[in-house]
Structure 1
């Protein structure tokens, strides 16, 4: 069984505004990367994301950015949570691929689709994929709340 997932959400903002909120590290740090983001997402760039709920600075290797359409990046697979108390919280030694797609809808909203794939077919990797699916769903909810209402859903959640 291939381990992969896809989550979607609609944000009541134009595609350019939604896209900018993801590629811009200052904006991303205001609603998603609770420990901050360093570097703008651009083709060929390596940027760094930090999260209070998953300690450490994570390199994000950007493979492709198509303005207002698509972002593709790789980052280290992590096959455990820090609370597991094992080496699974560290990189599992391989990368997964995340693809974000942005589609302008006729009513002025933006459909955001995030997929991730590339985990090994192991029980730990399966659990990790569920965790990342949860994380990307939460990111979409936080993005929507931030852009539509100026609310940071993640503020104070993990510290």
Structure 2
């Protein structure tokens, strides 16, 4: 069984505004990376993300950015402990941004794939699925209502 998932949400803002909220580290830090983000998401860059619920800043490699359409990232799978661990490896995250209706709404979809088919890989994939859905909920609240859902949630 291939370990992969896809989550989606509709944000009531134009695609350019939603894309910028993800690509711009200052904006991303206002609703998602509770410990801060450093570096703009641009093809070939390696940026740093930090979270209060998963302390310790870590690198995120930006594989591809197509402005207002797609962002592809790679980062460590996070399942390197336990009896079936056999060294670090990366998973791939793909975010897509699609304008809806009259351009006033955006469909954001996030998929992640590449975990090893182990108990640790399965657990890590579930954790990341949860995290990405939470990111989309936080993005929606931030862009539509100016609310940071994650503020104080983990610290």
Q: Any gaps of 5 or more consecutive residues in structure 1?
A: 81-86
How many residue pairs get aligned? The number is: 151
CA distance in 2, matches of 1:58, 1:112: 24
TM-score scaled by structure 1? Answer: 0.92
TM-score scaled by structure 2? Answer: 0.95
Aligned to 2:7: 7
Aligned to 2:140: 144
CA distance in 1, matches of 2:50, 2:127: 16
CA distance in 1, matches of 2:11, 2:117: 33
State the Cα distance separating 1:2 from its structure 2 match. Answer: 0.3
State the Cα distance separating 1:94 from its structure 2 match. Answer: 0.1
Aligned to 1:53: 53
Aligned to 2:63: 63
Runs of 4+ residues deviating >2 angstroms:
none
State the Cα distance separating 1:147 from its structure 2 match. Answer: 0.3
RMSD of the TM alignment (CA)?
1.3
Q: Any gaps of 5 or more consecutive residues in structure 2?
A: none
Match of 2:91 among 85, 89, 96: 96
CA distance in 2, matches of 1:150, 1:106: 23
Aligned to 2:26: 26
State the Cα distance separating 1:79 from its structure 2 match. Answer: 1.7
Aligned to 2:124: 128
